[in-house]
Amino acid sequence: MDKKESPKWSPPASTSNRPLAFLGAGGRAKKIACLWASAGYDVNIQDLDEDRCDAALWYINTNASNFAERLGRDSRRVGKCRNFADLASAVNNVWLVVEACQGQSQSRIDILGEVDSMLPTDCILASTSSSTSNLIFARTTTRRRHLTCYIRYSLLPNNRAVELLPCPETDPGVLSFLTEHHQKMGLITAVSHGSSKRMRMFLTLRKLILFGAKCSRIQVVAIEDEYVAERNLESSFTSDFLRLKYIQEGRFGAGSPKGRLRFLKVSKSIANGDIYVPKTPSQPTLFFLDVGVGENVHSMEEAMTAGKILTTTPDGRQINTIVTRQSYPDGIDISLQVGRIFWTDMGVTGCKDGSIMSATLDGSDIQYIIPKGHVHTPKQLAMDHINSHLYFSDREGLCVSRCNFHGSNKTTLIQTGDPANPDHASDPLRFARARFTGRKKGAAKQAKAASSVPT
């Protein structure tokens, strides 16, 4: 279509009542989505991988406030973030769609062509592709071409630079509109006033400014098939080599089983070597318990289920509640190996209604590991990550026990008395309240040494 015949575009009257959507939930997509959410924009994330969607949602909820602070913005309402597997639901009534998919170019071309027919007529369609090849929008209709462009973000949130590049038919008002919104978020925006084959500013930043540990910054292996397709180049020693030597060998980046470049040192794998756990997470998170005692509640039932699981950043400035309605939680630990939190619920005093619980790191998929009635008053919790074992003490149950991460093979390791015996049950010196060592607490505030129970 001739540029003069392109439909006239009017910016959305308001973006506060319309979300924006991200296609993809990988490492790049979740950081960009977190940026927009931290500025108060509602964000939809679409990815067919449910686990990747859940991980992105947890990342955004955990880091949105931190992004706002690091980008120098005043505290404001953090936007709502939702994830979707269905494409049509994710882009319903959106004003901006940002393609940030992982994978080969053809799959990205296909999804942009598929989503085009689902979008409102005024919706902007952008890609974060590091190449500005026009092939990426090859399947979009002519009525959408004037609303297409490229947005290239640098290393968020440390680097504020973002570059906007038009396609041959892009309406100039689209770039002005996006520039305004990016500047409101505290980003430094550069606009290219003509279609180009490469983002020169991004290359300059990467080569001249990012001096420190270049190899350690490589997070993913990017395969630019657009160049091979456009120029009819031989792929044997370019994209095919990367796909064979890196992708097929599992070298996707710092979070993958085999890490990144071969000569870089990574943490030793756990157990059989199939699990990679970084020594120092890029965004440390503290998981902790709120027993719920002292909560302002309106009924006895609420008082008995006022416990919570919370997360916070190391500086304590951002606190999020991820699990609620727990009955006096007491011990907690996490396993990066299986990506789950484990904790104990003591239950009501005097009743054998304690339990061992588990959930994913974002607080979803809550499960009973040991259900109510099978343990009395579980207290401290310890984990054997290598063998996937949980160790926990049962105070009124007068024992220290072990089970697998799924709750099977529950075994009593130490028994300090018979809970059915009134004399034993009322003797505080028999209460098991210690971690793993099985130390008996003894009577409170008394000058009696508690005996140590070996494991």
Asked if 176 and 82 sit in the same domain, the reply is yes
- Sheet with 319-326, strands from edge to edge, namely 286-290, 307-312, 319-326
Q: Which segments of 219-366 does DSSP mark as H helices, in order? A: 225-231, 239-242, 300-304
Per-position DSSP letters for 304-322, written without gaps between them:
HT-EEEEEE-TTS--EEEE
* pLDDT tens per residue across span 40-71: 899 999 998 888 888 888 888 878 877 887 77
Is 293 part of any domain? Answer: yes
pLDDT digits (tens, 9 = 90+) for 3-29: 445 567 888 888 889 999 999 988 889
C-alpha closest to that of 332 among 313, 358, 353, 354: 358
Residue 295 within any structural domain of the chain? yes
Residues 229, 82, single domain; the answer is no
Q: Are 12 and 75 in a shared domain?
A: yes
Q: Are residues 228 and 300 in the same domain?
A: no
Q: Are residues 30 and 176 in the same domain?
A: yes
Sequence-ordered list of residues with C-beta below 8 angstroms from that of 215, at least 6 positions apart, any chain? 260, 261, 264
The verdict on 45 and 137 lying in the same domain is yes
For residue 108, what pLDDT is reported?
82
> Greater confidence, 192 or 333?
333
Give percent of the chain above pLDDT 70. 73
Co-location of 204 and 269 in the same domain: no
Q: Are residues 160 and 229 in the same domain?
A: no
SS (H, E, C) 48-108: CCHHHHHHHHHHHHHHHHHHHHHCCCCCCCCCCEEEECCHHHHCCCCCEEEECCCCCHHHH
**CB 434 within 8 Å of CB 440:** yes
**Which pLDDT score is estimated for 355?**
93
CATH number at residue 103: 3.40.50.720
User: What is the total count of domains within the chain?
Assistant: 3
First to last CA, the chain: 78
- In a shared domain, residues 61 and 184: yes
Q: Is residue 392 part of a domain?
A: yes
On the 0-12 / 13-18 / 19+ scale of CB atoms within 10 A, 371 is middle
Residue 41: domain span: 3-209
pLDDT at 250 exceeding the cut of 90: no
Q: Which residues contact residue 125 at a Cβ distance below 8 angstroms, ignoring those fewer than 6 apart?
A: 97, 99, 112, 115, 116, 119, 137, 140, 144, 147, 148
pLDDT tens figures, 89-113: 999 999 999 998 876 677 788 889 8
Calculate the CA 14 to chain-centre distance.
Answer: 29
Average pLDDT over residues 443-447: 43
User: Residues 95, 239: one domain?
Assistant: no
CATH code of the domain in which 421 resides: 2.120.10.30
pLDDT at 219 > cutoff 70 = no
Residue 282 pLDDT exceeds 50: no
Given a contact cutoff of 8 angstroms between Cβ atoms, the answer to whether 227 and 234 are in contact is no
The verdict on residue 85 lying in a domain is yes
CA neighbor of 130 nearest in space, from 247, 22, 261, 222: 222
User: Is 13 in the same domain as 144?
Assistant: yes
Residue 444 lies in a domain: no
For residue 236, being part of any structural domain is answered with yes
Structure confidence at residue 211 (pLDDT)? 44
What's the pLDDT band for 335 if we cut at 50, 70, 90? confident
Same domain, 205 and 216: no
